[in-house]
Protein backbone atom coordinates (compact mmCIF):
# COMPACT_ATOMS: atom_id res chain seq x y z
CA UNK A 1 0.00 0.00 0.00
CA UNK A 2 1.22 3.48 -0.80
CA UNK A 3 -1.00 5.90 1.03
CA UNK A 4 -1.56 9.54 0.32
CA UNK A 5 -0.69 12.16 2.94
CA UNK A 6 -3.12 15.08 3.01
CA UNK A 7 -2.58 18.06 5.30
CA UNK A 8 -5.63 20.02 6.44
CA UNK A 9 -4.66 23.56 7.23
CA UNK A 10 -6.03 27.09 7.41
CA UNK A 11 -3.59 29.51 9.00
CA UNK A 12 -6.27 30.96 11.24
CA UNK A 13 -7.54 29.06 14.25
CA UNK A 14 -11.13 28.12 14.92
CA UNK A 15 -12.26 27.74 11.33
CA UNK A 16 -13.04 24.02 11.61
CA UNK A 17 -9.82 22.21 10.71
CA UNK A 18 -10.23 19.56 13.40
CA UNK A 19 -13.90 18.93 12.64
CA UNK A 20 -13.11 18.74 8.94
CA UNK A 21 -10.25 16.30 9.55
CA UNK A 22 -12.43 14.03 11.69
CA UNK A 23 -15.36 14.22 9.27
CA UNK A 24 -13.41 13.72 6.06
CA UNK A 25 -11.47 10.90 7.74
CA UNK A 26 -14.72 9.21 8.78
CA UNK A 27 -16.26 9.71 5.33
CA UNK A 28 -13.18 8.24 3.58
CA UNK A 29 -13.23 5.28 5.96
CA UNK A 30 -16.94 4.76 5.18
CA UNK A 31 -15.91 4.58 1.52
CA UNK A 32 -13.93 1.49 2.50
CA UNK A 33 -10.47 3.04 2.74
CA UNK A 34 -7.94 2.53 5.50
CA UNK A 35 -7.61 5.98 7.05
CA UNK A 36 -5.32 7.45 9.69
CA UNK A 37 -5.99 10.87 11.17
CA UNK A 38 -3.02 12.45 12.93
CA UNK A 39 -3.37 15.29 15.42
CA UNK A 40 -0.39 17.54 14.77
CA UNK A 41 -1.37 20.13 17.37
CA UNK A 42 1.25 18.96 19.85
CA UNK A 43 0.52 20.46 23.26
CA UNK A 44 -3.10 21.41 22.46
CA UNK A 45 -4.71 18.18 21.37
CA UNK A 46 -8.35 18.31 20.28
CA UNK A 47 -8.92 15.71 17.62
CA UNK A 48 -9.30 12.91 20.18
CA UNK A 49 -12.12 14.84 21.91
CA UNK A 50 -13.90 15.58 18.64
CA UNK A 51 -13.75 11.87 17.78
CA UNK A 52 -14.78 10.82 21.28
CA UNK A 53 -11.60 8.81 21.87
CA UNK A 54 -9.89 10.83 24.60
CA UNK A 55 -10.29 8.15 27.25
CA UNK A 56 -8.50 5.52 25.15
CA UNK A 57 -5.17 7.30 24.74
CA UNK A 58 -2.18 5.38 26.05
CA UNK A 59 0.54 6.37 23.59
CA UNK A 60 0.59 9.37 21.29
CA UNK A 61 2.18 10.44 18.03
CA UNK A 62 5.29 11.84 19.76
CA UNK A 63 5.85 8.47 21.48
CA UNK A 64 5.52 6.72 18.14
CA UNK A 65 7.94 9.09 16.39
CA UNK A 66 10.45 9.02 19.26
CA UNK A 67 10.34 5.23 19.27
CA UNK A 68 8.87 4.92 22.76
CA UNK A 69 6.18 2.67 21.32
CA UNK A 70 5.36 0.89 18.08
CA UNK A 71 3.33 2.80 15.53
CA UNK A 72 0.47 0.31 15.96
CA UNK A 73 0.37 0.97 19.70
CA UNK A 74 -0.22 4.68 19.18
CA UNK A 75 -3.09 4.11 16.72
CA UNK A 76 -6.55 4.24 18.31
CA UNK A 77 -9.33 2.53 16.42
CA UNK A 78 -12.55 4.52 16.02
CA UNK A 79 -15.53 3.35 18.04
CA UNK A 80 -17.86 3.02 15.06
CA UNK A 81 -15.81 2.89 11.90
CA UNK A 82 -13.38 -0.02 11.73
CA UNK A 83 -10.99 1.33 9.14
CA UNK A 84 -10.49 4.69 10.86
CA UNK A 85 -7.54 5.22 13.22
CA UNK A 86 -6.47 8.20 15.29
CA UNK A 87 -2.93 9.16 16.20
CA UNK A 88 -3.47 11.59 19.11
CA UNK A 89 -1.16 14.48 19.88
CA UNK A 90 0.88 14.74 23.05
CA UNK A 91 -0.58 17.18 25.55
CA UNK A 92 2.61 17.66 27.58
CA UNK A 93 5.16 18.38 24.84
CA UNK A 94 5.43 21.33 22.50
CA UNK A 95 5.78 21.53 18.72
CA UNK A 96 9.59 21.63 18.81
CA UNK A 97 9.87 17.97 19.84
CA UNK A 98 9.09 17.04 16.24
CA UNK A 99 11.03 17.99 13.13
CA UNK A 100 9.92 18.02 9.49
CA UNK A 101 12.38 15.18 8.79
CA UNK A 102 10.99 13.00 11.58
CA UNK A 103 7.46 13.58 10.25
CA UNK A 104 8.53 12.56 6.74
CA UNK A 105 9.97 9.31 8.18
CA UNK A 106 6.84 8.69 10.30
CA UNK A 107 4.50 9.22 7.33
CA UNK A 108 6.65 6.94 5.20
CA UNK A 109 5.82 4.16 7.66
CA UNK A 110 2.14 5.10 7.79
CA UNK A 111 1.87 5.04 3.99
CA UNK A 112 2.50 1.30 4.08
CA UNK A 113 -0.51 0.68 6.33
CA UNK A 114 -3.10 3.26 5.23
CA UNK A 115 -4.73 4.55 2.02
CA UNK A 116 -5.13 8.05 3.40
CA UNK A 117 -3.22 9.84 6.14
CA UNK A 118 -4.91 13.08 7.18
CA UNK A 119 -2.77 15.54 9.14
CA UNK A 120 -4.69 18.01 11.31
CA UNK A 121 -2.38 21.01 11.13
CA UNK A 122 -2.28 23.45 14.05
CA UNK A 123 -3.14 27.12 13.52
CA UNK A 124 -0.27 29.40 12.61
CA UNK A 125 2.61 29.07 10.18
CA UNK A 126 5.40 28.16 12.60
CA UNK A 127 6.98 24.86 13.53
CA UNK A 128 3.69 22.94 13.78
CA UNK A 129 2.78 24.01 10.25
CA UNK A 130 6.26 23.12 8.95
CA UNK A 131 6.05 19.68 10.56
CA UNK A 132 2.62 19.02 9.06
CA UNK A 133 3.38 20.25 5.57
CA UNK A 134 6.77 18.53 5.15
CA UNK A 135 5.39 15.01 4.49
CA UNK A 136 2.21 16.11 2.66
CA UNK A 137 1.37 15.13 -0.92
CA UNK A 138 -1.76 17.23 -1.00
CA UNK A 139 -3.26 20.02 1.05
CA UNK A 140 -6.78 21.11 1.88
CA UNK A 141 -7.16 24.70 2.99
CA UNK A 142 -10.18 25.43 5.18
CA UNK A 143 -11.54 28.94 5.09
CA UNK A 144 -14.64 30.55 6.51
CA UNK A 145 -16.34 33.40 4.65
CA UNK A 146 -14.70 36.05 6.83
CA UNK A 147 -12.10 38.58 5.76
CA UNK A 148 -9.64 37.55 8.50
CA UNK A 149 -9.89 33.88 7.60
CA UNK A 150 -9.46 34.64 3.90
CA UNK A 151 -6.37 36.71 4.66
CA UNK A 152 -4.73 33.90 6.63
CA UNK A 153 -5.77 31.26 4.12
CA UNK A 154 -4.19 33.39 1.40
CA UNK A 155 -0.91 33.48 3.31
CA UNK A 156 -0.98 29.72 3.87
CA UNK A 157 -1.77 29.08 0.18
CA UNK A 158 1.26 31.20 -0.73
CA UNK A 159 3.45 29.14 1.61
CA UNK A 160 2.08 25.84 0.27
CA UNK A 161 2.59 26.91 -3.34
CA UNK A 162 6.16 27.90 -2.50
CA UNK A 163 6.65 24.32 -1.30
CA UNK A 164 5.22 23.01 -4.61
CA UNK A 165 1.99 21.78 -3.05
CA UNK A 166 -1.15 22.88 -4.90
CA UNK A 167 -3.86 23.13 -2.26
CA UNK A 168 -7.60 22.72 -2.70
CA UNK A 169 -10.14 24.85 -0.91
CA UNK A 170 -13.02 24.08 1.43
CA UNK A 171 -15.23 27.02 2.36
CA UNK A 172 -16.67 26.16 5.76
CA UNK A 173 -19.54 27.57 7.83
CA UNK A 174 -21.47 29.25 5.06
CA UNK A 175 -24.75 30.78 6.25
CA UNK A 176 -26.83 31.06 3.06
CA UNK A 177 -29.31 33.53 4.59
CA UNK A 178 -26.51 35.94 5.45
CA UNK A 179 -24.92 35.52 2.03
CA UNK A 180 -28.27 36.29 0.42
CA UNK A 181 -28.68 39.41 2.55
CA UNK A 182 -25.16 40.51 1.60
CA UNK A 183 -23.90 40.30 5.19
CA UNK A 184 -21.45 37.49 4.48
CA UNK A 185 -18.88 36.91 1.76
CA UNK A 186 -20.18 34.47 -0.82
CA UNK A 187 -18.08 31.43 -1.66
CA UNK A 188 -17.47 33.07 -5.02
CA UNK A 189 -15.88 36.09 -3.34
CA UNK A 190 -13.59 33.78 -1.38
CA UNK A 191 -12.62 31.80 -4.49
CA UNK A 192 -12.01 35.04 -6.41
CA UNK A 193 -9.41 36.15 -3.88
CA UNK A 194 -7.78 32.79 -3.22
CA UNK A 195 -8.05 31.50 -6.81
CA UNK A 196 -7.41 27.82 -6.09
CA UNK A 197 -9.49 24.77 -6.93
CA UNK A 198 -12.62 24.45 -4.82
CA UNK A 199 -13.30 20.98 -3.46
CA UNK A 200 -16.35 21.64 -1.30
CA UNK A 201 -18.70 24.07 0.37
CA UNK A 202 -19.88 23.32 3.90
CA UNK A 203 -22.91 24.97 5.40
CA UNK A 204 -23.09 26.15 9.00
CA UNK A 205 -24.72 23.27 10.84
CA UNK A 206 -25.80 23.01 14.49
CA UNK A 207 -25.35 19.25 14.25
CA UNK A 208 -21.58 19.79 14.13
CA UNK A 209 -21.62 21.31 17.62
CA UNK A 210 -23.61 18.34 18.88
CA UNK A 211 -21.27 15.95 17.07
CA UNK A 212 -18.18 17.60 18.56
CA UNK A 213 -19.57 17.31 22.06
CA UNK A 214 -20.80 13.74 21.73
CA UNK A 215 -17.88 12.47 19.68
CA UNK A 216 -20.14 11.10 16.95
CA UNK A 217 -19.06 12.29 13.53
CA UNK A 218 -21.55 14.42 11.58
CA UNK A 219 -21.11 12.09 8.61
CA UNK A 220 -22.85 9.39 10.69
CA UNK A 221 -25.80 11.63 11.50
CA UNK A 222 -28.68 11.55 9.08
CA UNK A 223 -29.82 14.90 7.79
CA UNK A 224 -26.64 16.73 8.77
CA UNK A 225 -25.92 19.17 5.96
CA UNK A 226 -22.29 19.53 7.00
CA UNK A 227 -21.98 15.74 7.20
CA UNK A 228 -23.31 15.36 3.67
CA UNK A 229 -20.95 18.06 2.43
CA UNK A 230 -17.94 16.32 4.04
CA UNK A 231 -19.03 13.02 2.46
CA UNK A 232 -19.04 14.65 -0.96
CA UNK A 233 -15.60 16.17 -0.29
CA UNK A 234 -14.30 12.72 0.68
CA UNK A 235 -15.70 11.23 -2.52
CA UNK A 236 -14.04 13.94 -4.58
CA UNK A 237 -10.75 13.35 -2.75
CA UNK A 238 -11.20 9.70 -3.60
CA UNK A 239 -11.21 10.54 -7.29
CA UNK A 240 -14.95 10.95 -7.94
CA UNK A 241 -14.63 14.10 -10.02
CA UNK A 242 -18.22 13.77 -11.29
CA UNK A 243 -19.76 14.80 -7.96
CA UNK A 244 -20.93 18.39 -8.29
CA UNK A 245 -20.14 21.06 -5.72
CA UNK A 246 -23.45 21.96 -4.12
CA UNK A 247 -23.91 25.57 -3.15
CA UNK A 248 -25.78 25.93 0.16
CA UNK A 249 -29.20 27.42 -0.53
CA UNK A 250 -31.69 29.24 1.65
CA UNK A 251 -34.47 26.87 2.68
CA UNK A 252 -37.73 28.45 1.74
CA UNK A 253 -41.11 27.26 2.95
CA UNK A 254 -43.55 25.96 0.37
CA UNK A 255 -45.80 29.03 0.86
CA UNK A 256 -42.93 31.43 0.30
CA UNK A 257 -41.98 29.58 -2.88
CA UNK A 258 -45.57 29.75 -4.16
CA UNK A 259 -45.72 33.42 -3.19
CA UNK A 260 -42.51 34.11 -5.13
CA UNK A 261 -43.87 32.29 -8.19
CA UNK A 262 -46.94 34.49 -8.02
CA UNK A 263 -44.73 37.54 -7.74
CA UNK A 264 -45.69 38.35 -4.15
CA UNK A 265 -42.38 37.68 -2.47
CA UNK B 1 10.66 67.97 -77.33
CA UNK B 2 9.83 70.67 -74.93
CA UNK B 3 12.89 70.11 -72.78
CA UNK B 4 15.17 70.71 -75.77
CA UNK B 5 13.76 74.20 -76.23
CA UNK B 6 14.84 75.21 -72.77
CA UNK B 7 18.54 76.01 -72.14
CA UNK B 8 20.43 73.17 -70.47
CA UNK B 9 22.02 75.61 -68.00
CA UNK B 10 20.54 78.56 -66.23
CA UNK B 11 22.09 80.86 -63.69
CA UNK B 12 20.10 82.90 -61.20
CA UNK B 13 21.17 84.88 -58.18
CA UNK B 14 20.08 83.66 -54.77
CA UNK B 15 20.76 84.96 -51.31
CA UNK B 16 23.71 82.64 -50.67
CA UNK B 17 25.27 83.13 -54.13
CA UNK B 18 24.42 81.74 -57.57
CA UNK B 19 22.05 78.87 -58.34
CA UNK B 20 23.09 76.94 -61.43
CA UNK B 21 20.24 74.83 -62.76
CA UNK B 22 21.44 72.05 -65.07
CA UNK B 23 19.85 69.24 -67.05
CA UNK B 24 21.71 66.04 -66.30
CA UNK B 25 20.61 64.35 -69.57
CA UNK B 26 22.55 66.89 -71.66
CA UNK B 27 25.94 65.57 -72.98
CA UNK B 28 28.85 66.86 -70.94
CA UNK B 29 30.41 68.80 -73.86
CA UNK B 30 27.18 70.68 -74.56
CA UNK B 31 26.65 71.25 -70.87
CA UNK B 32 30.12 72.74 -70.45
CA UNK B 33 29.59 75.05 -73.47
CA UNK B 34 26.29 76.21 -72.03
CA UNK B 35 27.81 76.77 -68.58
CA UNK B 36 30.65 78.84 -70.13
CA UNK B 37 28.08 80.90 -71.99
CA UNK B 38 26.00 81.71 -68.90
CA UNK B 39 29.05 82.46 -66.76
CA UNK B 40 30.51 84.76 -69.41
CA UNK B 41 27.22 86.61 -69.32
CA UNK B 42 27.42 86.84 -65.54
CA UNK B 43 30.95 88.28 -65.85
CA UNK B 44 32.50 89.45 -62.60
CA UNK B 45 29.45 88.42 -60.59
CA UNK B 46 30.70 84.87 -60.55
CA UNK B 47 34.10 85.69 -59.12
CA UNK B 48 34.47 84.41 -55.55
CA UNK B 49 30.78 83.52 -55.54
CA UNK B 50 29.24 80.45 -53.98
CA UNK B 51 27.67 78.35 -56.73
CA UNK B 52 24.93 75.88 -55.94
CA UNK B 53 24.20 73.21 -58.55
CA UNK B 54 20.61 72.10 -58.93
CA UNK B 55 19.92 69.05 -61.14
CA UNK B 56 16.18 69.50 -60.96
CA UNK B 57 15.64 66.08 -59.41
CA UNK B 58 16.61 64.06 -56.33
CA UNK B 59 19.40 62.13 -57.99
CA UNK B 60 23.11 62.67 -57.53
CA UNK B 61 25.73 62.97 -60.28
CA UNK B 62 29.04 63.15 -58.42
CA UNK B 63 31.25 62.73 -61.54
CA UNK B 64 29.45 65.46 -63.45
CA UNK B 65 29.57 67.67 -60.42
CA UNK B 66 33.31 67.18 -60.09
CA UNK B 67 33.91 68.07 -63.75
CA UNK B 68 31.75 71.15 -63.54
CA UNK B 69 33.22 72.27 -60.25
CA UNK B 70 36.73 72.01 -61.70
CA UNK B 71 35.66 74.01 -64.75
CA UNK B 72 34.03 76.74 -62.66
CA UNK B 73 36.92 77.11 -60.26
CA UNK B 74 39.55 77.14 -63.07
CA UNK B 75 37.79 79.33 -65.61
CA UNK B 76 35.65 81.62 -63.51
CA UNK B 77 37.39 81.69 -60.08
CA UNK B 78 34.23 80.81 -58.09
CA UNK B 79 34.74 80.35 -54.36
CA UNK B 80 32.98 77.02 -53.92
CA UNK B 81 30.55 74.65 -55.61
CA UNK B 82 27.80 72.95 -53.63
CA UNK B 83 24.96 70.60 -54.43
CA UNK B 84 21.50 72.00 -54.08
CA UNK B 85 19.51 70.76 -51.08
CA UNK B 86 16.09 71.76 -49.83
CA UNK B 87 16.80 74.45 -47.26
CA UNK B 88 15.68 73.17 -43.82
CA UNK B 89 12.86 75.26 -42.43
CA UNK B 90 13.29 76.42 -38.87
CA UNK B 91 10.02 75.06 -37.44
CA UNK B 92 10.32 71.73 -39.21
CA UNK B 93 13.83 71.28 -37.92
CA UNK B 94 12.65 71.69 -34.37
CA UNK B 95 9.83 69.19 -34.91
CA UNK B 96 12.04 66.65 -36.53
CA UNK B 97 14.48 66.39 -33.67
CA UNK B 98 12.31 64.32 -31.26
CA UNK B 99 10.77 62.40 -34.13
CA UNK B 100 14.16 61.13 -35.20
CA UNK B 101 14.56 60.17 -31.54
CA UNK B 102 11.38 58.11 -31.82
CA UNK B 103 12.06 56.53 -35.18
CA UNK B 104 15.58 55.49 -34.39
CA UNK B 105 14.27 53.84 -31.21
CA UNK B 106 16.88 55.51 -29.15
CA UNK B 107 14.62 55.87 -26.09
CA UNK B 108 16.71 55.49 -23.04
CA UNK B 109 15.77 52.39 -21.06
CA UNK B 110 12.89 52.48 -18.65
CA UNK B 111 13.41 49.62 -16.22
CA UNK B 112 10.45 47.72 -14.81
CA UNK B 113 9.98 44.56 -12.82
CA UNK B 114 7.10 42.76 -14.51
CA UNK B 115 5.47 39.89 -12.65
CA UNK B 116 2.55 37.76 -13.79
CA UNK B 117 0.36 35.99 -11.24
CA UNK B 118 -1.32 36.52 -7.93
CA UNK B 119 0.58 38.23 -5.11
CA UNK B 120 -0.73 36.68 -1.92
CA UNK B 121 -0.98 37.84 1.67
CA UNK B 122 2.46 37.96 3.28
CA UNK B 123 4.36 38.24 0.00
CA UNK B 124 6.46 41.36 -0.46
CA UNK B 125 7.52 42.47 -3.92
CA UNK B 126 10.30 44.99 -4.16
CA UNK B 127 11.43 46.67 -7.38
CA UNK B 128 14.20 49.23 -7.72
CA UNK B 129 12.32 51.05 -10.47
CA UNK B 130 8.78 50.50 -11.77
CA UNK B 131 6.76 47.42 -10.82
CA UNK B 132 4.09 45.97 -13.11
CA UNK B 133 1.85 43.18 -11.80
CA UNK B 134 -0.16 41.23 -14.36
CA UNK B 135 -2.64 39.75 -11.90
CA UNK B 136 -4.10 40.56 -8.52
CA UNK B 137 -2.43 41.84 -5.36
CA UNK B 138 -4.32 40.33 -2.44
CA UNK B 139 -4.93 42.10 0.88
CA UNK B 140 -1.90 41.58 3.11
CA UNK B 141 0.58 41.69 0.22
CA UNK B 142 2.96 44.62 -0.22
CA UNK B 143 4.41 46.12 -3.39
CA UNK B 144 7.35 48.49 -2.99
CA UNK B 145 8.78 50.29 -6.01
CA UNK B 146 11.33 53.01 -6.60
CA UNK B 147 9.08 54.26 -9.41
CA UNK B 148 5.52 53.63 -10.46
CA UNK B 149 3.28 50.68 -9.59
CA UNK B 150 0.91 49.35 -12.23
CA UNK B 151 -1.47 46.53 -11.34
CA UNK B 152 -3.40 45.02 -14.23
CA UNK B 153 -5.89 43.41 -11.89
CA UNK B 154 -7.15 44.07 -8.38
CA UNK B 155 -4.89 45.97 -6.00
CA UNK B 156 -6.03 44.90 -2.54
CA UNK B 157 -2.77 45.15 -0.60
CA UNK B 158 -0.36 47.93 0.27
CA UNK B 159 1.38 49.85 -2.50
CA UNK B 160 4.49 51.95 -1.84
CA UNK B 161 5.44 53.81 -5.00
CA UNK B 162 8.37 56.19 -5.42
CA UNK B 163 10.11 54.63 -2.47
CA UNK B 164 11.74 56.30 -0.57
CA UNK B 165 11.03 59.88 -1.65
CA UNK B 166 10.00 60.20 -5.29
CA UNK B 167 6.67 61.97 -5.17
CA UNK B 168 6.33 62.03 -8.96
CA UNK B 169 5.47 58.33 -8.98
CA UNK B 170 1.94 57.02 -9.43
CA UNK B 171 -0.04 53.92 -8.55
CA UNK B 172 -2.47 52.51 -11.09
CA UNK B 173 -4.79 49.52 -10.77
CA UNK B 174 -7.58 48.16 -12.92
CA UNK B 175 -9.53 47.53 -9.73
CA UNK B 176 -8.27 49.99 -7.16
CA UNK B 177 -8.95 48.80 -3.57
CA UNK B 178 -5.66 49.20 -1.70
CA UNK B 179 -5.42 48.99 2.07
CA UNK B 180 -2.88 51.77 2.00
CA UNK B 181 -1.00 53.83 -0.58
CA UNK B 182 2.31 55.52 -0.09
CA UNK B 183 3.88 57.73 -2.74
CA UNK B 184 7.24 59.09 -1.69
CA UNK B 185 6.63 60.21 1.85
CA UNK B 186 2.89 60.86 1.44
CA UNK B 187 0.56 58.25 2.89
CA UNK B 188 -3.12 57.63 2.27
CA UNK B 189 -5.35 54.90 3.66
CA UNK B 190 -7.82 52.91 1.60
CA UNK B 191 -11.47 53.78 1.68
CA UNK B 192 -12.68 50.30 2.59
CA UNK B 193 -14.44 47.68 0.51
CA UNK B 194 -16.34 48.78 -2.57
CA UNK B 195 -18.17 46.66 -5.06
CA UNK B 196 -17.42 48.81 -8.11
CA UNK B 197 -14.47 47.76 -10.23
CA UNK B 198 -13.00 50.93 -11.65
CA UNK B 199 -9.54 51.59 -13.03
CA UNK B 200 -8.07 54.37 -10.95
CA UNK B 201 -4.77 56.17 -10.61
CA UNK B 202 -3.23 57.76 -7.54
CA UNK B 203 -0.64 60.52 -7.58
CA UNK B 204 0.57 63.32 -5.36
CA UNK B 205 -1.05 66.70 -5.90
CA UNK B 206 -0.44 69.65 -3.57
CA UNK B 207 1.17 67.37 -1.03
CA UNK B 208 -1.81 65.00 -0.88
CA UNK B 209 -2.51 61.71 -2.60
CA UNK B 210 -5.26 62.19 -5.17
CA UNK B 211 -7.12 59.26 -6.67
CA UNK B 212 -8.98 59.77 -9.94
CA UNK B 213 -10.82 57.54 -12.38
CA UNK B 214 -8.39 56.64 -15.11
CA UNK B 215 -11.16 56.38 -17.69
CA UNK B 216 -12.53 59.86 -17.02
CA UNK B 217 -9.31 61.74 -16.34
CA UNK B 218 -6.54 59.83 -18.14
CA UNK B 219 -3.84 62.26 -17.02
CA UNK B 220 -1.29 61.01 -19.54
CA UNK B 221 -3.47 61.79 -22.54
CA UNK B 222 -2.65 65.44 -21.88
CA UNK B 223 1.03 64.90 -22.69
CA UNK B 224 1.60 66.17 -26.23
CA UNK B 225 4.48 63.81 -26.86
CA UNK B 226 5.57 60.51 -25.23
CA UNK B 227 7.77 60.89 -22.19
CA UNK B 228 10.00 58.36 -20.52
CA UNK B 229 9.02 57.46 -16.99
Q: Give the pLDDT score at B108.
A: 66
Phi, then psi, of B217 in degrees rounded to 5: -90, -45
- Residues from chain B that touch A197, judged by Cβ atoms under 8 A, are none
- Residues from chain A that touch B139, judged by Cβ atoms under 8 A, are 147, 150-151, 154, 193
With CA atoms as reference, the chain B residue closest to A161 would be B120
Q: How many other C-beta atoms are found inside a 10 Å radius of the C-beta of residue B193?
A: 10
Nearest to B118 by CA among B90, B91, B157: B157
Phi, then psi, of B205 in degrees rounded to 5: -135, 125
User: What is the DSSP pairing of strand B180-183 with strand B186-189?
Assistant: antiparallel
Higher pLDDT, A12 or B26: A12
CB A40 within 8 A of CB A25: no
Q: Give the pLDDT score at B212.
A: 92
Q: Give the pLDDT score at B93.
A: 47
Q: What is the pTM of this model?
A: 0.71
Q: Report the alpha-carbon angle A231-A232-A234, nearest 5.
A: 65
Higher pLDDT, A6 or B15: A6
The full DSSP string for B3-50 is HHHS-SEEEEE-SSSEEEEE-TTS-HHHHHHHHHHHHHHHGGGGTT-E
Average pLDDT, stretch B50-63?
80
Q: Give the pLDDT score at B50.
A: 83
Selected residue of A193, A194, A196 to mutate for chain B interface (largest B Cβ count, 10 A) = A193
Q: Give the pLDDT score at B87.
A: 54
Selected residue of B119, B121, B140, B195 to mutate for chain A interface (largest A Cβ count, 10 A) = B121
B196-225 pLDDT per residue, tens: 888 999 999 999 999 999 998 888 888 877
Task: Say how far apart CA A180 and CA A170 lie, in whole Å.
Answer: 20
Q: What residues have CB less than 8 Å from A56, skipping those under 6 apart?
A: A76
Task: Say how far apart CA A89 and CA A74 lie, in whole Å.
Answer: 10
Q: Give the pLDDT score at B194.
A: 72
CB contact (8 A) between residue A154 and residue B139: yes
Q: What is the mean pLDDT of each run of 10 residues along chain A (265 residues)?
A: 93 94 96 96 93 92 94 94 95 92 96 96 95 96 96 95 94 95 94 94 93 90 92 94 89 73 67
CB contact (8 A) between residue A151 and residue B121: yes
- Residues from chain B that touch A159, judged by Cβ atoms under 8 A, are 122
Task: Say how far apart CA B142 and CA B30 lie, in whole Å.
Answer: 82
Please tell me if residue A147 touches chain B, with a CB cutoff of 8 Å.
yes
With CA atoms as reference, the chain B residue closest to A196 would be B118
Phi, then psi, of B48 in degrees rounded to 5: 60, 15
What percentage of chain B reaches a pLDDT higher than 70? 86
HSE at residue A195, side-chain half, CA atoms within 13 A, is: 13
A51-71 pLDDT per residue, tens: 999 899 999 999 999 999 999
With CA atoms as reference, the chain B residue closest to A193 would be B138
Q: Give the pLDDT score at A264.
A: 64
**Continuous segment of H or E residues that includes residue A195:** none
Task: Say how far apart CA A138 and CA B180 lie, in whole Å.
Answer: 35
Q: Give the pLDDT score at B100.
A: 47
B3-14 pLDDT per residue, tens: 456 778 888 877
Rounded to whole angstroms, what are the CA distances from A62 to A26, A40, A46, A86, A93?
A: 23, 9, 15, 13, 8
What percentage of chain B reaches a pLDDT higher than 90? 39
Task: Name the least confident of B28-37, B176-185, B197-206.
Answer: B28-37
Of A151, A159, A161, the CB nearest to B140: A151
Please tell me if residue A208 touches chain B, with a CB cutoff of 8 Å.
no
pLDDT at B103 over 90: no
Task: Say how far apart CA B100 and CA B145 lie, in whole Å.
Answer: 32
- Residues from chain A that touch B138, judged by Cβ atoms under 8 A, are 151, 154, 193
Average pLDDT, stretch B108-121?
89
**3-state SS, one letter per residue, for B186-197:** EEEECCCCCCCC
A101-130 pLDDT per residue, tens: 999 999 999 999 999 999 999 999 999 999
ipTM value > 0.95: no
- Residues from chain A that touch B118, judged by Cβ atoms under 8 A, are 195
CB contact (8 A) between residue A158 and residue B121: yes
CB contact (8 A) between residue B122 and residue A147: no
Burial of A72-92, coded b for 16+ CB within 10 Å and e otherwise, reads: eebbbebeebebbbbbbbbee
Confidence of residue B55 (pLDDT cuts 50, 70, 90): confident
Residue B137: beta bridge partners? B119, B155
Distance (Å) from the C-alpha of residue B140 to the closest C-alpha of chain A? 7
The full DSSP string for B104-161 is TT-PPP--EEEEESPBPTT-EEEESSEEEEES-B-TT-EEEESS-EEEEEEE-SEEEE
Beta strands in chain A (DSSP E): 4-9, 35-39, 76-77, 84-87, 116-120, 138-143, 168-174, 197-203
Amino acid sequence: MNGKVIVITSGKGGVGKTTATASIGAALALEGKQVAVVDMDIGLRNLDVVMGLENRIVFNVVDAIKGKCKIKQAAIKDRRIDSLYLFPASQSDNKDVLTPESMVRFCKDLRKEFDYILLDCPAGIERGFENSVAPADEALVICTPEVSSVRDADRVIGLLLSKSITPRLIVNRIIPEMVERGDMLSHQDVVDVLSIELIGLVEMDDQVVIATNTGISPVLQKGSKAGEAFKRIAQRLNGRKDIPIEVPQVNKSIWKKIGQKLGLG
Amino acid sequence: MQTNDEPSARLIGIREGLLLTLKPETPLVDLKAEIERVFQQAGNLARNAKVVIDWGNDQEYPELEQEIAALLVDSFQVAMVLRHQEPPKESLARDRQPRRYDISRSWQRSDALILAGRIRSGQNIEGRHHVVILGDVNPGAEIRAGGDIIVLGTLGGVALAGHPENEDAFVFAMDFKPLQIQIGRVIAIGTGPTMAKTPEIAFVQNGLITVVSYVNENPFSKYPYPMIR
